[in-house]
Chains A and B, each alone.
Chain A
């Protein structure tokens, strides 16, 4: 018998200032079985939702105005008034360049997914944050998930062996 994920019990917060993108992510989550999805279009709206205490996973765009998704990440991980410093956070952003990946990671993001994304890519990030939760590390200059990835068995072909 294999593990399954029942998304109906998971409360999601989507933070994106693009209406179409926010709705699409919400629809994808809905198709996966999630029925507790709230949305915010900016930092302040997200903070209000977070303070309500009804969020299990936060999916945020970096490019929010006037305050960014990175500031939201920083608030959740490091602010003394954060409702849950260990909240899983997926940065889903069109800031796809490596510098943004590194900065997000250094601020304690749980998963990073660049736009344009695929539904499969989003699903894999959801599985990681829910079914494969990481321990946290607190050290000078960093509070966030342990950045050393677990080594999980991989049953697919090894492309390094096939010369591709």
Chain B
């Protein structure tokens, strides 16, 4: 017998409406549909943080590159490093596109998806695939590659794919 106290038949509870009463009126405030002027201001606000994002990400990715290149021997340290990379990939996946770097989001998502399916103790091939991703992301950040559909972006995308395939082939 289930201990869930909730009813078997749906019980509908009307919204109290307190928040709406508190904030919605006909005199003061913003239109329910964002006007172009405010949208432009908000976009400007986001873009004003883009440089901070690039600087912070560049510093962290640079540090990660060095750590990945010198993977620690201690299993616990390796595990922590993989977790750090996973977290960094997650953060960049969420922020790249927001600040105008959709390619960065794409590569970070690829890395994050890859790490979601691996153990914390990477084998040689996995280390190389992670390293290729980190390097590619660093290129995007260092060169501030802001688009996603141009020739340069296509080339980077192809390079990442080719490098991953080559690593897979090398490690059998």
Contacts and interface: CB of A to CB of B under 8 A. Distances in A.
A109 to B, nearest CB: 15
Contacts, number: 158
Interface string B26-37: 111111101000
B15 A136 contact: yes
Interface in A42-89: 56-57, 63, 86, 88
Contacts of A96: 93-94
Interface residues of A, number: 51
B143 interface: no
B30 to A, nearest CB: 5
Interface residues of B, number: 51
Q: Is the interface of B mostly helix, strand, loop or mixed?
A: mixed
Contacts of A105: none
Given A4-B25, A115-B98, 4 more contacts: A21-B95, A88-B19, A131-B20, A136-B13
Interface of A: 1-7, 9-10, 18, 20-21, 23-24, 27-28, 31-33, 56-57, 63, 86, 88, 93-94, 96, 115-120, 123-124, 127, 129-131, 133-143, 146
Interface of B: 2, 4, 6-17, 19-20, 22-32, 34, 38-39, 41-43, 45-46, 49, 52-53, 56, 87, 90-91, 93-99, 102, 105
